[in-house]
Copies of this chain bind each other. A is one copy, B any other.
Amino acid sequence: MARTVAFDQDQAIEKALDVFWRKGYNGTSMRDLTDAMQINSSSLYNTLGDKHQLFVQCIKHYTRKRRILLEERAKVFDSPQKALESFIHDVADVVVKDAQGCFAIKTAFEVSPDNKGIQALLKDDNDFTHTFLSKLIREAVEQGVMKKDTDPDLLADYIISTYTGWYELYILHKDPAKIKQLAAFMVYHLLR
């Protein structure tokens, strides 16, 4: 029998994700990747595939991680509007925490317009968040804590598109207080 693969693939993908995140797909060279992952290019091609396949796996890794995090958080709250509020403030925290912006958003602008495969992955990720939010909104409406004429699907899209802009604003202004203000403003205006 033969030997088995030596390195931890999940760990390697996380290293690769970190590089793609910082430099973008086109800004990342295979050398950047092998340096960060600490494996030889032959090993990389034998196990995880070429640059594009590796990138796809990074996206899947990133979106899966976020999905799990979201599902766990949902369990903590007993009331839907508390969960919504918390979600929005959490996003604001994440925005100001990593200066690079969201990997999914960066990729949406850089790669996705010309690549239907990657676009589909990001759309799925987006749809998951949309389902998550619209469900909470629907519950809040049913419980009478939000207005009866609220459109859950529309409001979910609205929330998602709003915090997407926070990432750009933070890259340009690097002002945490501004992001927190915007989050508070959104909560005040939409969820009461």
Contacts and interface: CB of A to CB of B under 8 A. Distances in A.
A12 B172 CA distance: 28
Interface in A107-125: 108-110, 112-113, 119, 122-123
Contacts of A157: 169, 178, 181-182
A56 interface: no
A61 to B, nearest CB: 19
A165 B161 contact: yes
Interface in A126-158: 126, 154-155, 157-158
Interface residues of A, number: 42
A181 B157 CA distance: 10
27 contacts: A24-B26, A26-B26, A108-B172, A109-B167, A110-B110, A112-B171, A122-B172, A123-B173, A126-B172, A126-B173, A154-B181, A154-B182, A154-B185, A155-B185, A157-B181, A158-B182, A158-B186, A161-B164, A161-B165, A161-B166, A161-B182, A162-B162, A162-B165, A163-B165, A164-B165, A164-B169, A189-B190
Given A158-B185, A165-B160, A172 B26 contact: no
Interface stretch (A34-42, A64-72, A82-90, A97-105): A97-105
Contacts of A123: 172-173
Interface of A: 22, 24, 26-27, 99-101, 105-106, 108-110, 112-113, 119, 122-123, 126, 154-155, 157-158, 160-169, 171-173, 178, 181-182, 185-186, 189-190
Contact of A119 (B158, B164, B169, B171): B171
A181 B158 CA distance: 9
Contacts of A166: 161
